[in-house]
Amino acid sequence: MKIFVGNLSTSAGENELKKLFVPYGEVITSTIVYDLFSRRSRGFGFVEMNSRSDGEVAVTKLNNKLYMQQSLVVHEAKG
């Protein structure tokens, strides 16, 4: 299951993002989206989890969770 993670702190990296999701199941990939020109985080990313059921639990537990002083927006990725 591919999950969108928005409202991320620009200081969060891919390893931090992965660590956030690991308690809920196996993480296949974690990716932060960066601006091509400034190379700064755009404040969102994606996590791919091995199982749909683990992904659904992670979405439920992490949506609106305060992380690095920001309230996360977490839902299944569209498309």
Domain ranges of the chain: 2-76
The pLDDT value given to residue 60? 98
The pLDDT value given to residue 79? 75
* Residues listed for the chain: 79
* CATH number of the 2-76 domain: 3.30.70.330
Tell me the pTM: 0.94
Cα distance between residue 67 and residue 79, in whole Å:
26
Q: Tell me which amino acid residue 76 is.
A: E
Instruction: Note down pLDDT in tens along the chain; length 79 residues.
Output: 999 999 999 999 999 999 999 999 999 999 999 999 999 999 999 999 999 999 999 999 999 999 999 999 999 999 7
